[in-house]
Structure formats: structure tokens, C-alpha cells
Amino acid sequence: EMRLYMLDAWRESSLYSEPERAALGWTEALTRLAETRAPDEDYERLKAQFTEAEQVNLTLAVGAINVWNRLQVGFRAAHPIDEARDAA
């Protein structure tokens, strides 16, 4: 549970392994693409920890989740917690 709470501070935390750090770094780089431009450093860390197939799978997962999030924001979808609160 602590690992979930510490995700915002994954760079500073010692709770994550090197493969996890590489995956989190790549995820952040792709999610914030306009800011980061997916740095070579993050890509090299990813390549050092994962096979080509794993890199592809992670990148596809990150892309899919980012698309889903953008669709939800774009269509003003209400979060289920907000809907439940508003219905109460």
C-alpha cells in the first residue's frame, strides 16, 4: 500500500526497483510528451531493463491509458466517485 502512496515521489523513494523506475520514467515521459519530448535518457533506461516486446507492450499500455484519459476529459465524463457524491 505504501508503494501506491509514494508513486508521486517515485524518483526520491527507495521503494521501487530499477525496472520499476525505468517503467515509471518512460510512462511519465510519454504522458508529459509536450514537456519532456521523451528523453533519450529515459528510453535508454527502458531498453536496459526490458526486452523489445516488453518495451512495446508498456508503450502501448501507456498510450492507450493516455487516450482513454483524454477522451474522458474531452467528453466531460464524470468520475464515478463524483457521480456517487452528487447522487447522495
The predicted pLDDT at position 79 comes to 87
Look at phi and psi of residue 78 and say left if phi exceeds 0, alpha if psi is from -120 to 50, else beta: beta
pLDDT greater than 90 at residue 13 = yes
Rounded Cα distance, 21 and 15, in Å: 10
pLDDT band at 59 (very low <50, low <70, confident <90, very high): very high
Look at phi and psi of residue 30 and say left if phi exceeds 0, alpha if psi is from -120 to 50, else beta: alpha
**49 vs 83, which has greater pLDDT?**
49
Domains and CATH numbers, the chain: 2-87 (1.20.1290.10)
pLDDT greater than 90 at residue 80 = no
- pTM for the predicted model, two decimal places: 0.86
The predicted pLDDT at position 8 comes to 95
Q: Which residue type sits at 74?
A: G
Mean pLDDT of the chain: 96
